[in-house]
Structure 1
């Protein structure tokens, strides 16, 4: 795949089929917001959105934009998303020079917007499954619009090449002018440079009182949601991609693999680093021993994990008649920690392993 273009949709894309238009509210310099009480947020003109403090699950608060017109409060954007939770004595001040500044009781100040280097949260890097969660930090997957006209998804921190991409939509040969569009009726589609629709990702449904949103969930799946404002229900998934839940690369972290039947699993001899977050991967549950050239196999043995595939990062490739012979070749090499065997080929690798998944 070719070089990337920036994604056109930088914020959480939520559209409404019909919005109320109450009188516009204005907030003048000198006004304050506090986490507790009735003065914790400002409503948008439609009354559907709010900006201000919201309580995290657990301790603390954050500042962001959320949907306030439905019972299930749903986050749209978070300011300073990688910072720790805010205490309940913090204030958000709209200063006379047009800045939004967080002020703690100890006098510390943090900028939110205006004359600061704080940038809006990229909508396409969402890590948390809960609408309001204690962890809104930058996620591990991204959606980009590429220079070759394809919309594609990658793990964060990988090159934008076919080897690392795990989902895409587009038409070959369209070039650099393709754009991703999200209409008020929920339709998600690609337009080429002449304004022609070339890919319909979702169909439109111009239903009164329905709102839509698009996000990458923690499992790396891009999901299109709808919510009926006339019903006290939940967000319904109307489309998702990719369909295979093990396609997102890096979902289970290093030294772990995805199994459609069992979810994420660690390699034999490994345990999860963080029980609450598979993305943190797995680590050894045994003490490693020194490896001497004249006694390489002492204290170690090879365990097979069948029908799994991983990122190919081998430093040596051998011809091997059997799986056991491949394992012995790894045991005899102090640099070898993992051997991948398939069709007579033995690949020696070092840890960590990445992008593992079980194949049928």
Structure 2
């Protein structure tokens, strides 16, 4: 019986080890090289080294998403570790970090573990030899984060980090006190100067802070009695959605006229149930109205405050504005906004009224009687119109040919002026191929060629406005006319000072063309790469302004426009400059037109050699981080006023990306610019560091464009970047 029991115990331990991807004694990790972390079974979480300010830290982070998020950090009072440190699971069952000087640090206050496991919950556990007893687990020792299923027990404390890039202990501490009160204190002294408290000091002992799988944070007593609900943070319900409470339970709702993108994942937000191709509704089966959302507030992104002193006037102002999707009436003013609406809240203490524009199909809303009445009215209007037209024709015939021609000429002139006004104010206009052929004088003057097609110069005769007409390659054009027009309207709804404006399009047979605003100064490539004797280079201040402009444009495409767009071909040739030197991104949305599912790896690499992110070649999922990589290379082009590869230079300087890192590592960044330029070395070093972070081979190490903008503007600290090619993916 003893032998049988031993066999069962050994088999059980072996099965647990396989199911949990266990770490055995003798295993080790290093900050760089092939193995930097141990993964959970699904590769969602990783335990190991990650870069932080001044070196590295050891902890648990989310590895399954592009933006790395740290959830637990070991030995925060001894950070940072150097790049030659080694994490070991020793033969006697301890976790230690060894530095080159021979100094050894015990990360955990335990020993004697037989194996360790990082679970898919984010909990790192040390087991005894049976595999059934937990000697230690990270869930019992939280640092600055609670994960789903984790509790903050009485007497336990969460300490804030110094920053997102420095996980050392910061200036705040959140304590679950023994009296049941959850309190946020400054991390100094022992005084009672609290920043915030749950105000539950009478709840008594055994109260814990809990985070459930739906993202709700609450206090429990003895794991059964509900004490206090800590309301959801804004944005949990996603864009165009808001939180509501019913009988102590929280949920998400969509704005009127909207529905969940995915009913199983509220955080993805809501989308419109019905859409229309034009804000001027001519279909009798479609209607536009404004619906109230009382006691509402949301993130202020107002683009216009019209004169409207009443709620009805505010509704009318939004209805008559094609850019308006919602309005917030505060009682004193009317604030018009576009979609998406972020951080929507409906609370009794608010007196604001949200006014949401709703598109409704009458056939789907049981208003057939209304349609019948409208049709009767239209028949009557048509009959009267026919009579009037007949009479007008008779008068014209009697008036004679001269008067007839005069009136026809006047009518055409008015029609042209009206079309010009609509062309300017209402967004993209549909052109025929013959009209664009006339505008461009038979596609005579070529402005340039790109991966998507050829660009020609044209003139709108009625307004004498110059335009750029891009003729897309037919083999790359979308298959369906309706699909193409739908995507054109998506691109047309993007409005930003750093994006070229789409004025019109043509979908005539197999031909697909775009009409864009004409940029007088040409492309960034023309300015940066032209010989010095033919065209002066932009000065240092102008180059920095261009970099910031481009970053803002990419940020808008990624996070701020209604439909997130991955450009996939950021390069100097696709950056155009207007007469004031403002940089604008062109060709955005074309990659989306040509390949609709951007969440999956494409067998056809998009982009231009030298600007293409490594994940394209590795057939990894494509995310917004491919644009971040391309921006990093583009930033180097701007700083150095040269191409990515220049074989006329010495071998060590030929490849721009490698040369930039060599100069940075040697603290000789001034070699990157002309010595006669008035360049501030500190600012140049900052720009180089930002570019090096952007071109990291591992996508998760690259910052988001939001963070890139903050670093460019000097809002956040720029950590020391590693060698871009020294990290391998942890997934």
With structure 1 as the length reference, what TM-score do the two structures score? 0.46
Higher fraction of helix: 2
**Which has the larger share of strand?**
1
Structure with higher RCO (Cα < 8 A, 6+ apart): 1
TM-score normalised to structure 2 length: 0.25
Query: Which one has the largest radius of gyration?
Result: 2
